[in-house]
Amino acid sequence: MHEYEFTLKFRLPDANADPEQFIDALAEAGCDDAAVGVGQQGRIALAFTREATSASEAIVSAVQEVRGAIPGAELVEASPDFVGLTDVADLVGCSRQNIRKLMITHSATFPAAVHEGSQAFWHLRPVLLWFSETQKRAIDRALIEVSEVTMNLNIAKETRRLPGAGLPKELETLFA
């Protein structure tokens, strides 16, 4: 068993619902290993520290438990996934300026951003793998595993919006 840390953000089925009303149901459904955030009307976020045999098992079971406790809850985002340079710097233990210099110096191999603009964003997994493989940095394997599952989950969530798009069965059940 390994310990995995991740956050799941959901839109509640009723935008006017007070998210605090779901706290007991979440604990009863098995989400007692999560800190619950209820700061925004109609939304709820859960920061999990979950033991499981894989990141996929941890995250899939958490999504299923939340959806069991809050029928109709819609997954908005799974993290860690989308990151900026500051996030990357914090995770790999160096300055934002150092990350920017590496990105510019190694522009041919540094992972492509998901969004470029006044602030660029990347999927975390390819960035972590780049640091591990090209910069020989020691990166927590559990973090790489979680970032892969959250990236796939976020991409699958967006793919569902495409007409005629099909998803792998194990992911489709999370959106049914």
The secondary structure of residue 112, as a DSSP letter, is P
Q: What is the pLDDT of residues 63-95, one digit of tens each?
A: 999 999 999 999 999 999 999 999 999 998 999
Residues of the chain with pLDDT below 50 are none
The secondary structure of residue 19, as a DSSP letter, is G
- CA distances from residue 75 to 58, 66, 85, 92, 106 in whole angstroms, order as listed: 15, 9, 25, 28, 35
Report pLDDT for 171: 62
The pTM assigned to this predicted structure is 0.88
